[in-house]
A and B are shown apart, each in its own frame.
Chain A
Amino acid sequence: MTPRALDGCVKCGACLRECPVLRLEGGFPGPRRLAVEGPRFNRELASLRGPLEACTTCARCESSCPSRLPLTEAVARMRAAVPADSEGRRRMLAMVRSIGRTLAPEGCLDAPRDGRTLFFPGCVGEARTLASTQAAVDLLGRLDDVYVPEGWSCCGSPLERIGETKEAERLRATNAPLLDAAEQVVTACPGCAVQLRRAHRIEPLHVLEHLYEVVGPRRLHLRSPRPVRVALHSPCHLVRSIGPHAMDYARELLSSVEGLTVVDLDEDECCGGGGGVASARPDLALRLARRKTDAAARAGAELLLAPCPFCVVNLSRAGGIEIRDLVGFLASLSEDRS
């Protein structure tokens, strides 16, 4: 059935010109076909199953749409209507059902189990970028009363993105009592921040927001031991769903560090890590990541920073430049003056 929310399309094509996947793959139908024109069809829907897997849900289409259509939500709904039956999808579901996470944890986060500010690690934060997540927790532990609760589950975001709403609901129910009990919720993963806000009707903050607004930049005492040139990647879900102010904070924090130069990238697009593309279309995820790392290398940066564990993981696949989580990086520059 066609949702009324997508009635406003005027065929301007702005979404098509913004889509990073369409830029790389001429055969990709693009956001308008997948989210607006496609859902109106009936018997023909199954033919969109393959193309749907290539959408990273970066939401550039949505932000440039003059009719403000909820395009990424429509893609998720289409994915639920014509589910892909891939190995990656089945593996993720099996993992979620057995341990409540999409990935097996690399180790255990060393953090108090109780406190005032709940830190939500997220599956990728715990399983793939444990070191920088730990650094973020340590930093917050020093400057704030932070804790990581026992028994947290995946926030459900990856499952919603691919249309697995029932599983996502189950995870939501598991997390609800933990989150309800917290005074404030903070996470280093933009995907988690967006999902927790939507699913639990709380106001979680990304670590960047928490550091800037609650802790305060002055208390961070950021210092770089040597001059270094860094490039900054704007994670899609951070900029568009959490808000562009978070990247303003990131730029301000970095520019306050003496000896640290932030280079301008001529490339401002999705890293390719979102929307399940990394598992369904690893070739595409790699190509998207390479565009970013090439741009960073071209601009003479030594490091490419991203305030998002998903981005860090996918960009790292491309090689060619060192990738670090921005918050972990900031934690490493922060002097302990206590």
Chain B
Amino acid sequence: MRGNRPEVLVVGGGATGAGVARDLAMRGAQVMLVEAGDFAAGATGANHGMLHSGARYAVKDPASARECAAEGAVLRRIARFCIEDTGGLFVCAGKDDPAYLDRFLPACAAAGVEAKEISVEEARRLESCLASDIKAAVEVPDGSIDPFFLILGNVASAREHGAVVLNHRPLRRLRRKDGRFEAEVGSGRGRRAVRPEVVVNAAGAWAGEVASMVGASLPVCVDKGTMVVFNGRLVNRLVNRLRPPADGDILVPHRTSTILGTTSSRGSPHNVRATAAEVALLLDEAAAILPAIREARAVRAYAGVRPLLGTGAEGREASRTFQVVDHADEADGLISVVGGKLTTYRLMAEKAADAVMAKLGRGGACRTAAEEIMPYDGTPAQDLAAEAARLRHGARWHEIIGGQVSALGRQEGCGCEAVTCGELEGLAASPDVRDIGDLMRRSRAGMGYCQAGLCAMAMASALGQGRREVQAYYAERWKGVEPVLYGEQLRQEAFKSNLLRVYGIDHTAEGDR
């Protein structure tokens, strides 16, 4: 790539953008990707972490179901490092209509989704916490996937294939100029002008805004979904509600926690936050299949926005399939990719990359379905922190932890997630990592049950930062804590408050977004 004239500029560093950048780089295109915040900061970062079998959509949205079933198998091949193949259950609660099963099973079969009915006793043997009045159960090949590590893996792989991938570079301006595009990205000293031939608009909920910068229209409907994170694995496999998709239908065990979701309401990409009312709603729904959830420790609630194709239908009615839009009439060279699910991101990227390569007048077959994103180190390590690091970073974990830069190295950075200070320092060395949030997403430190009570300091230390940055980090995180200020987490936050005020930090002082 010559200076700032890549062939392709990808706008957006979520699953879609990172996937497209990797695919294009593997086909030999010169790619630059810019992401406004940190990678996976949008819908990808606030999603449920589900590796969909597709069963959930079999009845209402069979096209989407078919895509999920096929892509699920692909991802299990290429992204082993960030997938827990837990399996899943669909469970009919006492108050649900058991007749749904009669539509569900055939629909799954038609969509190519493996679904096997099992007895209620068998279901309760697999998941002992299920309600005593469940009426039916079906086994499906769901799994859980870590969206942050998936995207970071794609980014690393894209770079290995020659792509330039930049975070913390917002797109300030985009216009056509002399047959190419001219984009201004970044701010301050990092500001630069980039002149690509083709622009891939993978900006998710902000895709409409990006398109309008060059006078193109892209109706993106933004749907808000809230999730609640619980301490520990309340279930060992995904547990779904066997009924037409509604709120609070799904429990996903994800590493050391369980994520309950989700809701669906009209949203906007700005100032997205979960509310206590949404948390209460989710608990009410989930209690029908897992009564013990009311006593479980909720540690955080988060909300994200799903960008859906603005076809007129909203919320749960809108299709979850994706679309590649070539804005040839309005702004030739702009290609938008909208919609989809995390599970089908690779397919979205493939189709978008096909369109881009055609635009560039080049060939190049897609290899992403066959090649592993990141080598996977299958040799278990001997201690929990090392083992957790191996399962976070795949084969790269040695080099991350191995670079112990200080005597603090082997000490505990984050206890909840088993992250050593050495791992934090190794990750902090990357130019991508500018603040505690960036470090948190790459290490999982701060995502455990104490919600960064002790490790925020360790992260600041690894970054060469201090109390001011810790205060700012807590200000950002507090909005996810407020909606779950009850039970054990209320006690935890009270304890943290007393502790942090010794250092002059009020971790409940919310900053501006």
Contact = CB atoms under 8 A, between A and B. Distances in A.
In the complex, are there CB atoms of A and B closer than 8 Å? yes
A291 interface: no
A42 B253 contact: yes
B84 interface: yes
Contact of A11 (B129, B297, B384, B454): B454
A215 B495 CA distance: 48
B231 A47 contact: no
A2 B233 CA distance: 5
Nearest to B258: A2
A1 B256 contact: no
A46 to B, nearest CB: 6
A281 interface: no
A32 interface: yes
Contacts of A12: 495
Interface string A1-42: 111101111111000000000000000010011000111111
Contacts of B234: 1-2
A42 B255 contact: yes
Interface residues of A, number: 28
Contacts of A8: 297, 488, 491
Nearest to A32: B415
B81 to A, nearest CB: 11
A280 B179 CA distance: 74
Contacts of A37: 256, 415-416, 418, 448
Interface in B269-312: 292, 295-297
A41 B234 CA distance: 12
A6 B381 CA distance: 26
Given A2-B234, A37-B418, A47 B383 contact: yes
Contacts of B380: 46-47
Interface in B313-331: none
B386 to A, nearest CB: 7
Contacts of B391: 43-44
A317 B324 CA distance: 75
Interface string B254-268: 011100000000000
Given A2-B231, A47-B382, A41 B416 contact: no
B230 to A, nearest CB: 9
Contacts of A46: 380, 387
B404 interface: no
A41 B488 contact: no
- B-side interface mostly: loop
A105 interface: no
B235 interface: yes
A43 B380 CA distance: 10
A7 B231 contact: yes
Contacts of A2: 231-234
Contact of A41 (B231, B256, B453): B256
Interface in B132-184: none
B104 interface: no
Contacts of B39: none
A40 B233 contact: yes
B217 interface: no
Contacts of A47: 380-384, 386-387
A1 B491 contact: no
B295 A4 contact: yes
Contact of A9 (B235, B236, B449): B449
Nearest to B253: A42
A44 B384 CA distance: 6
A50 interface: yes
A12 B496 CA distance: 9
A40 B256 CA distance: 5
A314 B381 CA distance: 33
Contact of A33 (B257, B415, B450, B496): B415
A260 interface: no
A4 B296 contact: yes
A11 B448 CA distance: 11
Contact of A40 (B257, B382, B383): B257
Contacts of A44: 384, 387-388, 391, 418
A12 B233 CA distance: 22
B508 interface: no
Contact of A39 (B129, B232, B236, B450): B232
Interface of B: 84, 128-129, 231-236, 253, 255-257, 292, 295-297, 380-384, 386-388, 391, 415-416, 418, 448-450, 453-454, 488, 491-492, 495-496
Interface of A: 1-4, 6-12, 29, 32-33, 37-44, 46-48, 50-51, 67
18 contacts: A2-B234, A4-B296, A7-B297, A7-B449, A8-B488, A8-B491, A11-B454, A11-B492, A37-B416, A39-B232, A40-B416, A41-B384, A41-B388, A42-B253, A47-B382, A47-B384, A47-B386, A50-B382
Given A10-B492, A41-B255, A41-B256, 17 more contacts: A1-B129, A6-B232, A8-B297, A8-B491, A9-B450, A10-B496, A11-B416, A11-B495, A12-B495, A37-B415, A40-B416, A42-B233, A43-B84, A44-B384, A44-B388, A48-B384, A67-B491
